[in-house]
Amino acid sequence: MKQKLLVLAASLLLVSGYLGVDRLLGAPDRPRVLARTDDGNRHSVTLLSATYRLDRLYPSMTGPYGNLGNLTLLGKGDDRRVWVTGIRTEAVDRSGTHPISPEFFCHANLTLAERGNSPALHNALFDDRTHLDWRLFTLVPGRMEVRLPEGFGIPVLASEPLDFLSMSLNLNVPDREVDVRFRTRIDFVTATGDTPPVKPLFRRALYGYETVSGDGEPMACVEPTHPGASCGPALGLAASEKGFVESLGKTKAIHWMVAPGRYTLHTDVTPQMDLPMDTTVHYVTAHLHPYGVSLTLIDRTAADTLFVLRSKDFEDKIGVERMEELELPEGVPVYRDHEYELVTDYDNRTEGNVDAMAILYLYLADKDLPPGLAAANPGE
């Protein structure tokens, strides 16, 4: 019996040499950490999502999705404070090695881990002088990389549990199956005596929304079983429950339909700004669906246009090819007592209704956090 077990073990090792242990155990499609790199005080973690099989058309927010949960940047025993400076993802084939068309990417969120973390727990690590919500970064079609300006970052603990959620879509390929994965690199820095302090940022997401009338046609997001799984706050979801934004109420939809022709929406986003102090904006990008034209943020108190972000669609298929970004090292001032408006523009060139969203992402200076506290380890 012992000899038979040894022969079986040898056979398994031989086969695994050809197929790889993951494939032998039926796990090649699971999400996992691929690599960790260190270059002085600069670090990165590379992730690979699960395999998502697209066997039909999947409109926005309806495609297969998954989570790589409870990952840490430097390991569970390392309690140093670090600054996350950027994130980049690309669509790849099932092997995880060959890039494919980015048209199959819906969105991805790097969030605080649903299990074992929360905005309250995270901010308490910094004496409640930081103002992060559930999400660190959101990647969207046309903006699959966010790189904060040099010298800026989001402070977190290296051992703090994070989740990475990604979702696929398929707007163009109804006649064959497509396997897609997302390979993602998270970049962060640690403090050393030779590097200047990193300036801390926090994030705000500003949503355009339509009122749901009796004959309206709202679109439902994925039910938010995880704070990073949906496209935003569900209808009527209170900020205290999931920490996205102040509740928009059950009569507001952040995913709606646009009729053929030009469309403009004006949204008062003053409550969503929820600024803890007068501060400055240092990075801006946005999210629009196909046929979106631009998003504009207006300071109504100062009668000033602060930012205009434009979107460009693919010319030969449905989808967003590029969403603009603004890097603002010097910063653009915003004020707690000002009122702000988000203007959404779409140009639906089809003969039917199209689904729409409008989100502006702001990264703002966290001025309540002194540099010394940002760099110190817990308990010091």
Question: 316 φ, ψ to 5°?
Answer: -110, 5
The DSSP output letter for 159 is T
DSSP for 282-351, please give it: EEEEEEE-TTEEEEEEEETTTTEEEEEEEEEE-SSSSSEEEE-EEEEEEEEEE-TT--EEEEEEEEE-SS
Domain boundaries, the chain: 28-375
Nearest CA to 326 out of 344, 347, 310, 302 is that of 310
Strands 199-207 and 152-157 come out as: parallel
> Maximum CA pair distance of the chain?
84
Show pLDDT as tens, one digit a residue, over the chain (380 residues): 544 444 444 444 333 333 333 343 347 899 999 999 998 889 999 999 999 999 999 998 899 999 999 999 987 678 888 999 999 999 999 999 999 999 999 999 999 998 889 999 999 988 888 999 899 999 999 999 999 999 999 999 999 999 999 999 999 999 999 999 999 999 999 876 666 678 999 999 999 988 765 444 545 444 455 655 555 543 333 322 332 334 455 567 788 889 999 999 999 999 999 999 999 999 999 999 999 999 999 999 999 999 999 999 999 999 999 999 999 999 999 999 999 999 999 999 999 999 999 999 999 999 988 765 666 665 45
